[in-house]
Copies of this chain bind each other. A is one copy, B any other.
Amino acid sequence: MNDHDKSRLTFFRDDILRMRGYQAGEQPQGDKIIKLNTNENPYPCSPSVVQAIRSVEAGGLQKYPDASATAFCTAAAPILGVDPNWILCGNGSDEILSIVTRAMVGPGQKVRWPFPSYVLYSVLTDIQGGLSDPVSFAPDWNLTDEFYSDQDQLGLVFLANPNSPSGTLLDPEKVLELVNAVRCPVLIDEAYADFAGVSCVDLVAQNERILVSRTLSKSHGLAGLRFGYLVAQPQIIEQLVKIKDSYNCDALSIAGATAAITDQVWLRQNVEKVRSTRQELSEQLESMGFEVTPSSANFVWCKHCDRSSLEIYEYLKSNQLLVRYMEFGSWGDGIRITVGTDDQVDALVTILSSILKKP
């Protein structure tokens, strides 16, 4: 739609007409392509998930689900070391991020995050009519002093930890420093925390401005199920609940997620496999001339020393292998590669070798 047409749609909010929507990674619906572009788990979820889903199917789907996903909260609470009422469940952690932004950010308020990071933060800010205020990471992927400057109208801070696309991690002590240096809530987006083995959930009890979001999409192998959750103090959850749709999690996902979080043995084994392959992938990439950022997640961020990232991405794609090419304006570009199975990584290495041999 061109600008002339847009000017006709005056009943939309200006913020919406002006903004670009979030561009998700390509999701070809087929099996031929090796998909290492959206940080999905290469392994199937715990078998107990499918069992749990089937038992819900058997009872019928005609009734509304439990609005509070009580079964999940009850199962997750002891694992997380909190009470069940410290947990808010969502339709993927994207919905959790959306709920928190809608609760905290009004027109003209600033939302800050270290840059580059998850592109959705800016989209959620735009929808609210807020002001995106990304502050570049230091070269070592720590925060700079600028991150704490000019907090006027600062409504919310996002911190993806581990970060995407870099895969880098701030340890909990540094996160606590960040929280103490700002006055607004800090949402720590722990989509990839299981792969790091480090979490800030323990910090939530220390400060009501600390909110930690999690997803089952990555480490639990359940991107197709849509289930995420927030850990925060109960007086925070109580306000956020007002914003969520009553029945935001369906009956199948509540049952599946409950089974998934309960099967910690599957989770640990899965994480171990991914970490081991991540190590292998990083070494292979380095041996082929890539600069690889040390990763605490289930993907690696890399650039080749003398080939363009876009060229590599396109060559891989033409060979039925999808990775994520990402471009962050003046900050530069690179390739984010999801850790797949060992076989998928072997296939990647083979294709990469062939392109790098070319003049």
- Taking Cβ atoms with an 8 Å cutoff, the residues of A that contact B are 1, 5, 9, 11-13, 15-17, 19-22, 24, 27, 29, 35, 38, 40-45, 49-50, 53-54, 56-57, 60-67, 70, 91-92, 94-95, 98, 102-107, 120, 123, 127, 129, 155-156, 183-185, 209, 217, 221-226, 235-236, 238-239, 241-243, 245-253, 256
Evaluate contact between B94 and A245: CB separation under 8 angstroms: yes
Evaluate contact between B16 and A242: CB separation under 8 angstroms: yes
**With contacts A1-B238, A63-B223 known, what are 11 further pairs, Cβ within 8 A?**
A11-B183, A12-B104, A12-B239, A16-B103, A24-B64, A24-B247, A27-B64, A42-B62, A54-B57, A61-B224, A107-B107
- List chain B residues, Cβ under 8 A from A57: 50, 53-54
Most chain B beta carbons < 10 A, residue from A45, A155, A238, A242: A242
- List chain B residues, Cβ under 8 A from A256: 61
- List chain B residues, Cβ under 8 A from A224: 56, 60-65, 250-252
The residue of chain B having its C-beta at the shortest distance from the C-beta of A90 within the complex is: B245
Evaluate contact between A62 and B38: CB separation under 8 angstroms: no
Q: State the Cβ distance, A27 to closest chain B Cβ, in Å.
A: 5
Evaluate contact between B67 and A27: CB separation under 8 angstroms: yes
A120 to B221, CA, bound (A): 34
- List chain B residues, Cβ under 8 A from A9: 235-236, 239
- Partner of A21 from the list B13, B94, B185, B241 (CB cut-off 8 Å) is B241
Most chain B beta carbons < 10 A, residue from A9, A15, A245, A246: A245
Evaluate contact between A44 and B16: CB separation under 8 angstroms: no
